[in-house]
A and B are shown apart, each in its own frame.
Chain A
Amino acid sequence: MSMTSPIIETNESYLKKVEKVHKQNRIKSLLKGLLFLLPSIILFGVFVFYPLFRTIYLSFFLTDAKGATTVFVGWEHYVNMFTDPIFLKSIKNTFLFVIYTVPVTVIISLFLAVIANEKLKGIGFFRTIFSSTMGVSVAAASVFWLYLFNPTMGLLNEFLQMFELDPIGWLTDPKWALISVAVTTIWMNVGFTFLILLGGLQSIDSSLYESADIEGSSYFYKLRRITIPLLSPTLFFVITVSIINSFQTFGQIDILTQGGPANETNLIVYSIYREAFVNYQFGSASAQAVVLFIIILIMTAIQFKVGERRVHYQ
Protein backbone atom coordinates (compact mmCIF):
# COMPACT_ATOMS: atom_id res chain seq x y z
CA MET A 1 0.00 0.00 0.00
CA SER A 2 2.94 2.25 0.57
CA MET A 3 3.79 1.98 -3.08
CA THR A 4 0.74 3.90 -4.17
CA SER A 5 2.22 7.18 -3.04
CA PRO A 6 5.37 8.43 -4.72
CA ILE A 7 8.50 7.67 -2.78
CA ILE A 8 8.84 11.07 -1.26
CA GLU A 9 11.12 10.04 1.57
CA THR A 10 14.21 10.09 -0.59
CA ASN A 11 13.32 13.55 -1.77
CA GLU A 12 15.48 16.36 -0.64
CA SER A 13 12.34 18.43 -0.50
CA TYR A 14 10.75 16.31 2.19
CA LEU A 15 13.87 16.49 4.33
CA LYS A 16 13.77 20.23 3.89
CA LYS A 17 10.14 20.27 4.86
CA VAL A 18 10.85 18.27 8.04
CA GLU A 19 13.71 20.60 8.88
CA LYS A 20 11.42 23.56 8.33
CA VAL A 21 8.70 22.07 10.51
CA HIS A 22 11.24 21.40 13.27
CA LYS A 23 12.49 24.93 13.05
CA GLN A 24 8.96 26.27 13.16
CA ASN A 25 8.24 24.08 16.17
CA ARG A 26 11.30 25.38 17.94
CA ILE A 27 10.33 28.96 17.27
CA LYS A 28 6.74 28.23 18.25
CA SER A 29 7.76 26.66 21.55
CA LEU A 30 10.13 29.55 22.25
CA LEU A 31 7.36 32.05 21.61
CA LYS A 32 4.88 30.07 23.68
CA GLY A 33 7.35 29.79 26.53
CA LEU A 34 8.02 33.50 26.42
CA LEU A 35 4.29 34.18 26.35
CA PHE A 36 3.86 32.32 29.63
CA LEU A 37 6.82 34.16 31.10
CA LEU A 38 6.06 37.54 29.58
CA PRO A 39 3.97 39.03 32.42
CA SER A 40 6.67 38.18 34.95
CA ILE A 41 9.48 39.30 32.67
CA ILE A 42 7.85 42.67 32.01
CA LEU A 43 7.15 43.34 35.69
CA PHE A 44 10.62 42.19 36.75
CA GLY A 45 12.01 44.45 34.07
CA VAL A 46 10.02 47.48 35.15
CA PHE A 47 10.11 47.03 38.93
CA VAL A 48 13.39 45.20 39.56
CA PHE A 49 15.94 45.48 36.78
CA TYR A 50 15.25 48.96 35.51
CA PRO A 51 15.16 50.40 39.07
CA LEU A 52 18.36 48.58 39.89
CA PHE A 53 20.23 50.17 37.01
CA ARG A 54 18.49 53.46 37.55
CA THR A 55 19.63 53.43 41.17
CA ILE A 56 23.22 52.89 40.09
CA TYR A 57 22.83 55.66 37.50
CA LEU A 58 21.29 58.09 40.00
CA SER A 59 24.11 57.49 42.45
CA PHE A 60 26.46 59.43 40.15
CA PHE A 61 24.25 62.53 39.97
CA LEU A 62 22.77 65.34 41.89
CA THR A 63 19.03 65.53 41.49
CA ASP A 64 16.27 68.01 41.97
CA ALA A 65 13.43 67.40 44.41
CA LYS A 66 11.52 65.51 41.74
CA GLY A 67 14.34 63.09 41.20
CA ALA A 68 15.50 64.38 37.80
CA THR A 69 19.26 64.37 37.38
CA THR A 70 20.91 67.76 37.36
CA VAL A 71 24.69 67.54 37.78
CA PHE A 72 26.98 64.61 37.15
CA VAL A 73 29.20 64.22 40.21
CA GLY A 74 30.94 60.92 39.52
CA TRP A 75 32.05 59.09 42.62
CA GLU A 76 31.47 62.06 44.87
CA HIS A 77 28.49 60.57 46.68
CA TYR A 78 30.47 57.46 47.45
CA VAL A 79 33.47 59.42 48.61
CA ASN A 80 31.29 61.63 50.82
CA MET A 81 29.43 58.65 52.16
CA PHE A 82 32.50 56.91 53.47
CA THR A 83 33.70 60.05 55.19
CA ASP A 84 30.28 60.82 56.60
CA PRO A 85 30.21 59.75 60.29
CA ILE A 86 26.42 59.38 60.24
CA PHE A 87 26.45 56.99 57.32
CA LEU A 88 29.38 55.03 58.71
CA LYS A 89 27.49 54.77 61.95
CA SER A 90 24.44 53.45 60.16
CA ILE A 91 26.56 50.81 58.46
CA LYS A 92 28.14 49.83 61.76
CA ASN A 93 24.78 49.72 63.48
CA THR A 94 23.27 47.68 60.70
CA PHE A 95 25.94 45.00 61.10
CA LEU A 96 25.56 45.16 64.88
CA PHE A 97 21.85 44.76 64.43
CA VAL A 98 22.34 41.65 62.27
CA ILE A 99 24.61 40.19 64.92
CA TYR A 100 22.09 40.97 67.65
CA THR A 101 19.12 39.52 65.83
CA VAL A 102 20.10 36.58 63.62
CA PRO A 103 21.78 34.16 66.04
CA VAL A 104 19.23 34.78 68.78
CA THR A 105 16.29 34.38 66.41
CA VAL A 106 17.64 31.12 65.04
CA ILE A 107 18.54 29.69 68.46
CA ILE A 108 15.17 30.54 70.01
CA SER A 109 13.32 29.23 66.96
CA LEU A 110 15.36 26.04 66.94
CA PHE A 111 14.64 25.51 70.61
CA LEU A 112 10.92 26.05 70.04
CA ALA A 113 10.92 23.80 67.00
CA VAL A 114 12.65 21.00 68.91
CA ILE A 115 10.24 21.11 71.84
CA ALA A 116 7.26 21.48 69.51
CA ASN A 117 8.34 18.46 67.49
CA GLU A 118 7.50 16.00 70.27
CA LYS A 119 4.40 13.92 69.86
CA LEU A 120 2.43 15.26 72.81
CA LYS A 121 -1.22 15.93 73.32
CA GLY A 122 -2.19 19.46 72.35
CA ILE A 123 1.08 20.07 70.53
CA GLY A 124 -0.83 21.63 67.63
CA PHE A 125 -1.94 24.43 69.94
CA PHE A 126 1.64 25.22 70.91
CA ARG A 127 2.77 25.11 67.30
CA THR A 128 0.09 27.61 66.42
CA ILE A 129 1.14 29.93 69.26
CA PHE A 130 4.81 29.69 68.32
CA SER A 131 4.18 30.51 64.69
CA SER A 132 1.66 33.24 65.47
CA THR A 133 4.08 36.17 65.36
CA MET A 134 4.42 35.48 61.65
CA GLY A 135 0.91 36.85 61.28
CA VAL A 136 1.69 40.01 63.23
CA SER A 137 2.56 42.92 61.01
CA VAL A 138 5.55 45.09 61.66
CA ALA A 139 3.28 48.02 62.51
CA ALA A 140 1.28 46.06 65.08
CA ALA A 141 4.36 44.43 66.59
CA SER A 142 6.02 47.83 66.91
CA VAL A 143 2.95 49.23 68.64
CA PHE A 144 2.93 46.36 71.14
CA TRP A 145 6.56 46.83 71.98
CA LEU A 146 6.28 50.61 71.98
CA TYR A 147 4.01 50.19 74.96
CA LEU A 148 6.21 47.54 76.58
CA PHE A 149 9.16 49.92 76.23
CA ASN A 150 7.19 52.89 77.49
CA PRO A 151 9.39 54.52 80.15
CA THR A 152 6.57 55.18 82.64
CA MET A 153 3.72 52.80 81.94
CA GLY A 154 5.56 50.06 80.06
CA LEU A 155 5.55 46.56 81.53
CA LEU A 156 9.30 46.16 81.19
CA ASN A 157 10.09 49.03 83.49
CA GLU A 158 7.36 47.92 85.86
CA PHE A 159 9.11 44.57 86.12
CA LEU A 160 12.37 46.34 86.82
CA GLN A 161 10.61 48.33 89.51
CA MET A 162 9.31 45.14 91.07
CA PHE A 163 12.90 44.06 91.55
CA GLU A 164 13.78 47.57 92.71
CA LEU A 165 15.96 48.28 89.70
CA ASP A 166 16.29 51.65 88.01
CA PRO A 167 14.00 52.13 85.00
CA ILE A 168 15.66 52.06 81.60
CA GLY A 169 15.01 54.44 78.75
CA TRP A 170 14.63 51.54 76.35
CA LEU A 171 14.14 53.59 73.24
CA THR A 172 15.72 56.83 74.35
CA ASP A 173 18.96 55.64 75.90
CA PRO A 174 21.63 55.30 73.14
CA LYS A 175 22.99 52.24 74.90
CA TRP A 176 19.66 50.42 74.78
CA ALA A 177 17.82 51.68 71.73
CA LEU A 178 19.36 49.32 69.18
CA ILE A 179 18.95 46.37 71.52
CA SER A 180 15.31 47.26 72.05
CA VAL A 181 14.68 47.38 68.31
CA ALA A 182 16.53 44.07 68.01
CA VAL A 183 14.31 42.46 70.65
CA THR A 184 11.20 43.57 68.77
CA THR A 185 12.63 42.21 65.56
CA ILE A 186 13.57 38.87 67.11
CA TRP A 187 10.07 38.51 68.50
CA MET A 188 8.57 39.21 65.08
CA ASN A 189 10.83 36.86 63.16
CA VAL A 190 10.61 33.89 65.51
CA GLY A 191 7.25 32.82 64.05
CA PHE A 192 8.44 32.37 60.48
CA THR A 193 11.80 30.86 61.43
CA PHE A 194 10.09 28.44 63.81
CA LEU A 195 7.66 27.32 61.14
CA ILE A 196 10.39 26.57 58.62
CA LEU A 197 12.59 24.77 61.16
CA LEU A 198 9.65 22.68 62.37
CA GLY A 199 9.02 21.67 58.77
CA GLY A 200 12.66 20.70 58.47
CA LEU A 201 12.49 18.62 61.64
CA GLN A 202 9.38 16.83 60.51
CA SER A 203 10.96 15.85 57.24
CA ILE A 204 13.67 13.88 59.05
CA ASP A 205 12.99 10.17 58.67
CA SER A 206 11.71 8.87 62.01
CA SER A 207 13.35 5.48 61.46
CA LEU A 208 16.68 7.19 62.18
CA TYR A 209 15.47 8.02 65.67
CA GLU A 210 14.02 4.57 66.12
CA SER A 211 17.29 2.88 65.27
CA ALA A 212 19.10 5.29 67.62
CA ASP A 213 16.60 4.36 70.33
CA ILE A 214 17.36 0.70 69.82
CA GLU A 215 21.04 1.49 70.24
CA GLY A 216 20.14 3.28 73.47
CA SER A 217 21.27 6.80 72.54
CA SER A 218 20.42 9.66 74.87
CA TYR A 219 18.14 12.55 73.95
CA PHE A 220 20.96 15.04 73.53
CA TYR A 221 23.11 12.59 71.63
CA LYS A 222 20.29 12.18 69.10
CA LEU A 223 19.83 15.93 68.95
CA ARG A 224 23.50 16.49 68.24
CA ARG A 225 24.14 13.53 65.96
CA ILE A 226 20.90 13.22 64.01
CA THR A 227 18.73 16.31 64.32
CA ILE A 228 21.24 19.11 63.81
CA PRO A 229 23.20 17.54 60.93
CA LEU A 230 20.08 16.57 59.05
CA LEU A 231 18.50 19.93 59.74
CA SER A 232 21.50 21.82 58.39
CA PRO A 233 20.02 22.60 54.95
CA THR A 234 17.01 24.16 56.64
CA LEU A 235 19.18 25.99 59.16
CA PHE A 236 21.27 27.30 56.31
CA PHE A 237 18.15 28.60 54.61
CA VAL A 238 16.72 30.35 57.67
CA ILE A 239 20.04 31.94 58.54
CA THR A 240 20.37 33.37 55.04
CA VAL A 241 16.81 34.63 55.04
CA SER A 242 17.18 36.12 58.53
CA ILE A 243 20.35 37.99 57.59
CA ILE A 244 18.77 39.43 54.49
CA ASN A 245 15.65 40.39 56.44
CA SER A 246 17.72 42.12 59.10
CA PHE A 247 19.47 44.22 56.50
CA GLN A 248 16.08 45.29 55.21
CA THR A 249 14.67 46.38 58.58
CA PHE A 250 12.57 49.49 58.29
CA GLY A 251 9.09 49.51 59.84
CA GLN A 252 10.14 48.89 63.45
CA ILE A 253 12.50 51.82 63.30
CA ASP A 254 10.01 54.14 61.69
CA ILE A 255 7.53 53.52 64.48
CA LEU A 256 9.77 52.91 67.50
CA THR A 257 12.67 55.36 67.21
CA GLN A 258 12.74 57.18 63.86
CA GLY A 259 16.43 56.39 63.77
CA GLY A 260 17.20 58.02 67.10
CA PRO A 261 18.55 58.57 69.65
CA ALA A 262 21.65 60.14 68.14
CA ASN A 263 21.31 57.98 65.01
CA GLU A 264 21.86 54.86 67.13
CA THR A 265 19.06 53.04 65.31
CA ASN A 266 19.47 54.72 61.96
CA LEU A 267 19.91 51.48 60.04
CA ILE A 268 20.74 51.55 56.38
CA VAL A 269 17.26 51.23 54.88
CA TYR A 270 15.98 53.93 57.20
CA SER A 271 18.92 56.07 56.27
CA ILE A 272 18.11 55.62 52.57
CA TYR A 273 14.49 56.47 53.25
CA ARG A 274 15.34 59.66 55.10
CA GLU A 275 17.92 60.79 52.58
CA ALA A 276 15.53 60.22 49.69
CA PHE A 277 12.07 60.99 50.96
CA VAL A 278 12.74 63.46 53.75
CA ASN A 279 15.82 65.28 52.44
CA TYR A 280 15.09 64.65 48.72
CA GLN A 281 18.75 63.81 48.12
CA PHE A 282 18.00 61.05 45.63
CA GLY A 283 21.58 60.89 44.36
CA SER A 284 23.27 60.19 47.64
CA ALA A 285 20.35 58.02 48.76
CA SER A 286 20.89 55.94 45.63
CA ALA A 287 24.55 55.59 46.45
CA GLN A 288 23.54 54.21 49.85
CA ALA A 289 21.09 51.87 48.15
CA VAL A 290 23.87 50.57 45.94
CA VAL A 291 25.90 49.85 49.06
CA LEU A 292 22.94 47.97 50.54
CA PHE A 293 22.58 45.98 47.36
CA ILE A 294 26.25 45.07 47.31
CA ILE A 295 26.23 44.07 50.97
CA ILE A 296 23.29 41.76 50.45
CA LEU A 297 24.85 40.34 47.32
CA ILE A 298 28.07 39.59 49.21
CA MET A 299 26.25 38.16 52.19
CA THR A 300 24.29 35.77 50.00
CA ALA A 301 27.40 34.78 48.11
CA ILE A 302 29.32 34.10 51.33
CA GLN A 303 26.40 32.19 52.74
CA PHE A 304 26.26 30.02 49.67
CA LYS A 305 30.00 29.38 49.63
CA VAL A 306 30.29 28.63 53.33
CA GLY A 307 26.95 26.89 53.44
CA GLU A 308 27.79 24.63 50.55
CA ARG A 309 30.77 23.21 52.38
CA ARG A 310 29.28 22.89 55.83
CA VAL A 311 25.78 21.91 55.03
CA HIS A 312 24.98 18.25 55.19
CA TYR A 313 22.55 17.48 52.39
CA GLN A 314 20.55 14.34 52.74
Chain B
Amino acid sequence: MTLSLGKKITFYILLIISALLLAGPMLMAIVMSFMTNQDILSGSLPTALTFDNYIAAFEKFPLMKFLLNSFIVSTVIMLGQLILASLAAYAFVFMEFKGRDLLFFIFIGTMMVPFEASVIPNFHIIRDLNWIDTYPGLTVPFFATAFGTFLLRQNFKQIPKELREASLIEGIGDFKFFLTVVLPVAKSSLITLGAYGFLTSWNMYLWPLLATTNDSVRTVQIGLKQLQTQEQLNDWGMIMAGAVTVIIPTLILLFLGQKRLQKGLTEGAIK
Protein backbone atom coordinates (compact mmCIF):
# COMPACT_ATOMS: atom_id res chain seq x y z
CA MET B 1 0.00 0.00 0.00
CA THR B 2 1.50 3.30 -0.99
CA LEU B 3 -0.01 6.51 0.27
CA SER B 4 -0.27 9.78 -1.55
CA LEU B 5 1.77 12.67 -0.16
CA GLY B 6 -1.34 14.42 1.12
CA LYS B 7 -2.45 11.36 3.03
CA LYS B 8 1.03 10.88 4.43
CA ILE B 9 1.09 14.43 5.76
CA THR B 10 -2.36 13.98 7.30
CA PHE B 11 -1.20 10.85 9.06
CA TYR B 12 1.98 12.46 10.33
CA ILE B 13 0.05 15.42 11.72
CA LEU B 14 -2.38 13.08 13.48
CA LEU B 15 0.46 10.94 14.80
CA ILE B 16 2.43 13.91 16.12
CA ILE B 17 -0.55 15.57 17.82
CA SER B 18 -1.59 12.27 19.41
CA ALA B 19 1.93 11.57 20.57
CA LEU B 20 2.26 15.01 22.15
CA LEU B 21 -1.07 14.71 23.94
CA LEU B 22 -0.39 11.22 25.18
CA ALA B 23 3.19 11.78 26.21
CA GLY B 24 2.34 15.23 27.61
CA PRO B 25 1.95 14.31 31.26
CA MET B 26 5.12 12.25 31.17
CA LEU B 27 7.12 14.93 29.38
CA MET B 28 5.85 17.48 31.87
CA ALA B 29 6.98 15.30 34.75
CA ILE B 30 10.41 14.76 33.25
CA VAL B 31 10.90 18.47 32.62
CA MET B 32 9.67 19.36 36.11
CA SER B 33 12.00 16.85 37.70
CA PHE B 34 14.92 18.88 36.35
CA MET B 35 13.49 22.29 37.26
CA THR B 36 14.25 24.38 40.29
CA ASN B 37 11.48 24.75 42.79
CA GLN B 38 11.32 28.48 42.15
CA ASP B 39 10.60 27.98 38.45
CA ILE B 40 7.87 25.47 39.26
CA LEU B 41 6.17 27.66 41.81
CA SER B 42 6.30 30.74 39.61
CA GLY B 43 4.86 28.72 36.76
CA SER B 44 7.57 29.87 34.37
CA LEU B 45 9.44 27.83 31.80
CA PRO B 46 12.62 26.22 33.11
CA THR B 47 15.45 28.71 33.43
CA ALA B 48 18.02 26.21 34.65
CA LEU B 49 18.52 22.46 34.65
CA THR B 50 19.30 20.82 37.96
CA PHE B 51 19.71 17.35 39.41
CA ASP B 52 18.88 18.67 42.87
CA ASN B 53 15.43 17.10 42.83
CA TYR B 54 16.86 13.65 42.19
CA ILE B 55 19.56 14.10 44.79
CA ALA B 56 16.96 15.26 47.30
CA ALA B 57 14.62 12.37 46.52
CA PHE B 58 17.36 9.83 47.07
CA GLU B 59 18.83 11.53 50.12
CA LYS B 60 15.74 12.53 52.04
CA PHE B 61 14.02 9.34 51.19
CA PRO B 62 14.94 5.62 51.19
CA LEU B 63 14.16 5.63 47.48
CA MET B 64 17.11 3.37 46.71
CA LYS B 65 15.86 0.81 49.19
CA PHE B 66 12.35 0.98 47.73
CA LEU B 67 13.74 0.49 44.23
CA LEU B 68 15.74 -2.50 45.38
CA ASN B 69 12.68 -3.97 47.13
CA SER B 70 10.58 -3.50 44.03
CA PHE B 71 13.27 -5.09 41.94
CA ILE B 72 13.45 -8.13 44.22
CA VAL B 73 9.69 -8.48 44.50
CA SER B 74 9.13 -8.14 40.74
CA THR B 75 11.91 -10.53 39.85
CA VAL B 76 10.71 -13.16 42.30
CA ILE B 77 7.11 -12.89 41.10
CA MET B 78 8.28 -13.07 37.50
CA LEU B 79 10.30 -16.22 38.13
CA GLY B 80 7.54 -17.79 40.18
CA GLN B 81 5.00 -17.12 37.46
CA LEU B 82 7.28 -18.48 34.75
CA ILE B 83 7.94 -21.69 36.63
CA LEU B 84 4.37 -22.37 37.70
CA ALA B 85 2.75 -21.32 34.45
CA SER B 86 5.14 -23.27 32.25
CA LEU B 87 4.73 -26.41 34.34
CA ALA B 88 0.96 -26.12 34.24
CA ALA B 89 0.87 -25.29 30.54
CA TYR B 90 3.05 -28.30 29.84
CA ALA B 91 0.62 -30.57 31.64
CA PHE B 92 -2.33 -29.11 29.75
CA VAL B 93 -0.67 -29.53 26.36
CA PHE B 94 1.54 -32.59 26.49
CA MET B 95 -0.02 -34.83 29.11
CA GLU B 96 -3.18 -36.79 28.95
CA PHE B 97 -5.01 -37.68 32.09
CA LYS B 98 -8.50 -37.83 33.47
CA GLY B 99 -9.96 -34.49 34.50
CA ARG B 100 -7.42 -32.44 32.57
CA ASP B 101 -10.00 -30.35 30.74
CA LEU B 102 -11.99 -29.77 33.91
CA LEU B 103 -8.85 -28.54 35.65
CA PHE B 104 -8.10 -26.21 32.77
CA PHE B 105 -11.61 -24.84 33.03
CA ILE B 106 -11.05 -24.20 36.75
CA PHE B 107 -7.76 -22.45 35.98
CA ILE B 108 -9.49 -20.15 33.51
CA GLY B 109 -12.24 -19.65 36.09
CA THR B 110 -9.77 -18.03 38.47
CA MET B 111 -9.50 -15.15 36.02
CA MET B 112 -13.06 -14.29 36.99
CA VAL B 113 -12.20 -13.84 40.65
CA PRO B 114 -10.85 -10.32 41.03
CA PHE B 115 -8.05 -10.14 43.52
CA GLU B 116 -9.71 -7.08 45.05
CA ALA B 117 -12.77 -9.16 45.94
CA SER B 118 -10.75 -11.69 47.92
CA VAL B 119 -8.25 -9.29 49.40
CA ILE B 120 -9.58 -9.49 52.97
CA PRO B 121 -8.97 -13.20 53.62
CA ASN B 122 -5.71 -12.92 51.69
CA PHE B 123 -4.56 -10.25 54.07
CA HIS B 124 -5.53 -12.42 57.04
CA ILE B 125 -3.67 -15.42 55.57
CA ILE B 126 -0.48 -13.42 55.13
CA ARG B 127 -0.84 -11.96 58.59
CA ASP B 128 -1.40 -15.39 60.16
CA LEU B 129 1.65 -16.71 58.34
CA ASN B 130 3.63 -13.80 59.80
CA TRP B 131 4.38 -12.76 56.26
CA ILE B 132 3.53 -9.09 56.72
CA ASP B 133 6.61 -7.03 55.86
CA THR B 134 8.32 -9.96 54.20
CA TYR B 135 9.20 -10.74 50.60
CA PRO B 136 7.18 -13.99 50.56
CA GLY B 137 4.10 -12.04 51.64
CA LEU B 138 4.52 -9.69 48.71
CA THR B 139 5.29 -12.34 46.11
CA VAL B 140 3.91 -15.83 46.76
CA PRO B 141 0.21 -14.96 46.32
CA PHE B 142 0.92 -13.98 42.71
CA PHE B 143 2.89 -17.00 41.55
CA ALA B 144 -0.05 -18.90 40.13
CA THR B 145 -1.44 -17.16 37.07
CA ALA B 146 -4.23 -18.30 34.82
CA PHE B 147 -3.33 -15.70 32.22
CA GLY B 148 0.27 -16.88 32.05
CA THR B 149 -0.77 -20.52 31.90
CA PHE B 150 -3.17 -19.71 29.09
CA LEU B 151 -0.59 -17.70 27.16
CA LEU B 152 2.03 -20.43 27.40
CA ARG B 153 -0.50 -23.12 26.61
CA GLN B 154 -1.35 -21.35 23.36
CA ASN B 155 2.33 -21.27 22.58
CA PHE B 156 3.19 -24.82 23.59
CA LYS B 157 0.35 -26.04 21.41
CA GLN B 158 2.29 -24.88 18.38
CA ILE B 159 5.08 -27.31 19.20
CA PRO B 160 4.44 -30.39 17.03
CA LYS B 161 3.17 -33.38 19.02
CA GLU B 162 5.61 -35.49 17.02
CA LEU B 163 8.48 -33.96 18.97
CA ARG B 164 7.07 -35.50 22.13
CA GLU B 165 6.42 -38.78 20.37
CA ALA B 166 9.93 -38.93 18.95
CA SER B 167 11.30 -38.33 22.43
CA LEU B 168 9.00 -41.03 23.85
CA ILE B 169 10.54 -43.53 21.47
CA GLU B 170 13.97 -42.35 22.52
CA GLY B 171 12.99 -42.86 26.13
CA ILE B 172 12.89 -39.29 27.38
CA GLY B 173 10.68 -38.57 30.37
CA ASP B 174 8.24 -35.71 30.71
CA PHE B 175 10.38 -33.55 32.94
CA LYS B 176 13.45 -33.91 30.78
CA PHE B 177 11.45 -33.16 27.66
CA PHE B 178 9.97 -30.11 29.39
CA LEU B 179 13.40 -28.82 30.36
CA THR B 180 15.45 -29.67 27.30
CA VAL B 181 12.93 -29.22 24.51
CA VAL B 182 9.79 -27.29 25.43
CA LEU B 183 11.40 -24.47 27.42
CA PRO B 184 14.14 -23.69 24.85
CA VAL B 185 11.71 -23.93 21.93
CA ALA B 186 9.17 -21.64 23.62
CA LYS B 187 11.84 -19.20 24.79
CA SER B 188 10.30 -16.14 23.20
CA SER B 189 6.90 -16.62 24.80
CA LEU B 190 8.60 -17.13 28.16
CA ILE B 191 10.36 -13.81 27.68
CA THR B 192 7.04 -12.17 26.84
CA LEU B 193 5.35 -13.54 29.92
CA GLY B 194 8.38 -12.67 32.03
CA ALA B 195 8.38 -9.07 30.84
CA TYR B 196 4.66 -8.79 31.40
CA GLY B 197 4.91 -10.34 34.85
CA PHE B 198 7.72 -8.04 35.85
CA LEU B 199 5.85 -5.01 34.56
CA THR B 200 2.61 -5.75 36.37
CA SER B 201 4.42 -6.69 39.58
CA TRP B 202 6.48 -3.50 39.52
CA ASN B 203 3.30 -1.49 39.16
CA MET B 204 1.31 -3.31 41.84
CA TYR B 205 -0.32 -0.97 44.34
CA LEU B 206 -3.09 -2.32 46.57
CA TRP B 207 -1.32 -5.41 47.88
CA PRO B 208 2.02 -3.79 48.82
CA LEU B 209 0.00 -1.06 50.51
CA LEU B 210 -1.66 -3.68 52.73
CA ALA B 211 1.19 -6.11 53.16
CA THR B 212 3.83 -3.62 54.26
CA THR B 213 3.77 -1.59 57.45
CA ASN B 214 7.30 -0.24 57.41
CA ASP B 215 10.09 0.55 54.98
CA SER B 216 11.86 -2.82 55.24
CA VAL B 217 10.31 -4.45 52.16
CA ARG B 218 8.08 -1.61 50.99
CA THR B 219 7.96 -1.25 47.22
CA VAL B 220 8.66 1.90 45.29
CA GLN B 221 5.01 2.50 44.36
CA ILE B 222 4.02 2.85 47.98
CA GLY B 223 7.20 4.82 48.55
CA LEU B 224 6.07 7.25 45.89
CA LYS B 225 2.73 7.65 47.60
CA GLN B 226 4.54 8.41 50.86
CA LEU B 227 6.76 10.89 49.14
CA GLN B 228 3.73 12.58 47.65
CA THR B 229 1.69 12.72 50.84
CA GLN B 230 4.59 14.01 52.90
CA GLU B 231 5.84 16.57 50.45
CA GLN B 232 2.62 17.53 48.75
CA LEU B 233 2.61 21.18 49.64
CA ASN B 234 5.82 22.46 48.25
CA ASP B 235 8.36 20.25 46.60
CA TRP B 236 6.79 19.14 43.32
CA GLY B 237 10.17 18.91 41.63
CA MET B 238 11.28 16.23 44.05
CA ILE B 239 7.99 14.31 43.78
CA MET B 240 8.30 14.31 40.01
CA ALA B 241 11.91 13.15 40.28
CA GLY B 242 10.65 10.25 42.40
CA ALA B 243 7.84 9.44 39.96
CA VAL B 244 10.19 9.52 36.97
CA THR B 245 12.62 7.22 38.77
CA VAL B 246 9.77 4.81 39.41
CA ILE B 247 8.70 4.55 35.79
CA ILE B 248 12.16 4.36 34.20
CA PRO B 249 12.70 0.59 34.65
CA THR B 250 9.30 -0.32 33.25
CA LEU B 251 9.59 2.13 30.38
CA ILE B 252 12.95 0.66 29.40
CA LEU B 253 11.45 -2.81 29.57
CA LEU B 254 8.54 -1.68 27.45
CA PHE B 255 10.71 0.02 24.85
CA LEU B 256 12.88 -3.06 24.50
CA GLY B 257 10.06 -5.55 24.40
CA GLN B 258 7.18 -3.63 22.85
CA LYS B 259 7.00 -5.74 19.69
CA ARG B 260 7.29 -8.99 21.56
CA LEU B 261 4.78 -7.99 24.22
CA GLN B 262 2.32 -6.93 21.58
CA LYS B 263 2.65 -10.22 19.72
CA GLY B 264 2.53 -12.31 22.86
CA LEU B 265 -0.41 -10.53 24.43
CA THR B 266 -2.39 -10.55 21.21
CA GLU B 267 -1.83 -14.27 20.84
CA GLY B 268 -3.06 -14.72 24.37
CA ALA B 269 -6.08 -12.55 23.64
CA ILE B 270 -7.22 -14.14 20.42
CA LYS B 271 -6.84 -17.83 19.99
Q: Is B50 an interface residue when CB atoms closer than 8 A count as contact?
A: no
Which one, A37, A219, A273, A289, contacts B88 given CB within 8 A?
Answer: A37
Evaluate contact between A36 and B95: CB separation under 8 angstroms.
Answer: yes
The interface centre, meaning the residue of A119, A123, A147, A158 with most chain B CB atoms within 10 A of its CB, is A147
Q: Is B110 an interface residue when CB atoms closer than 8 A count as contact?
A: yes
The proximity string for B residues 1-44 relative to A, scoring 1 for CB distances below 8 Å and 0 otherwise, is: 10100011001101100110011011011001000000011010
The proximity string for A residues 243-255 relative to B, scoring 1 for CB distances below 8 Å and 0 otherwise, is: 0100110110011
Evaluate contact between B87 and A40: CB separation under 8 angstroms.
Answer: yes
Q: Is B246 an interface residue when CB atoms closer than 8 A count as contact?
A: yes
Q: Is B64 an interface residue when CB atoms closer than 8 A count as contact?
A: no
Evaluate contact between A55 and B258: CB separation under 8 angstroms.
Answer: no
- Could you say which residues of chain B place their CB within 8 Å of the CB of A42? 144
Min Cβ gap B254→A in Å is 4
A213 to B1, CA, bound (A): 8
Q: Is A195 an interface residue when CB atoms closer than 8 A count as contact?
A: yes
Evaluate contact between A51 and B116: CB separation under 8 angstroms.
Answer: no
Q: Is B122 an interface residue when CB atoms closer than 8 A count as contact?
A: yes
What secondary structure prevails in chain B residues at the interface with A?
Answer: helix
The proximity string for A residues 275-314 relative to B, scoring 1 for CB distances below 8 Å and 0 otherwise, is: 0110000100110011011001100100000000000000
Q: Which residue of chain A lies nearest to B178 when distances are taken between CB atoms in the complex? A: A36
- Could you say which residues of chain B place their CB within 8 Å of the CB of A123? 15
Which one, A144, A145, A195, A196, contacts B258 given CB within 8 A?
Answer: A195
Which one, B84, B96, B236, contacts A147 given CB within 8 A?
Answer: B236
Which one, A29, A137, A210, A282, contacts B120 given CB within 8 A?
Answer: A282
Query: How many residues on the A side are at the interface (Cβ–Cβ under 8 A)?
Result: 98
Min Cβ gap A271→B in Å is 11
Min Cβ gap A283→B in Å is 10
Evaluate contact between B254 and A140: CB separation under 8 angstroms.
Answer: no
4 tightest A-B contacts by CB?
A199-B266, A51-B118, A51-B121, A43-B144
> Which residues of B are at the interface with A, using a C-beta cutoff of 8 A?
1, 3, 7-8, 11-12, 14-15, 18-19, 22-23, 25-26, 28-29, 32, 40-41, 43, 83-85, 87-88, 90-91, 95-100, 103, 106-107, 110, 112-125, 140-141, 143-144, 146, 149, 174, 178, 199, 202-203, 205-206, 209-210, 221-222, 224-225, 228, 236, 239-240, 242-244, 246-247, 250-251, 253-255, 258, 261-263, 265-266, 269-270
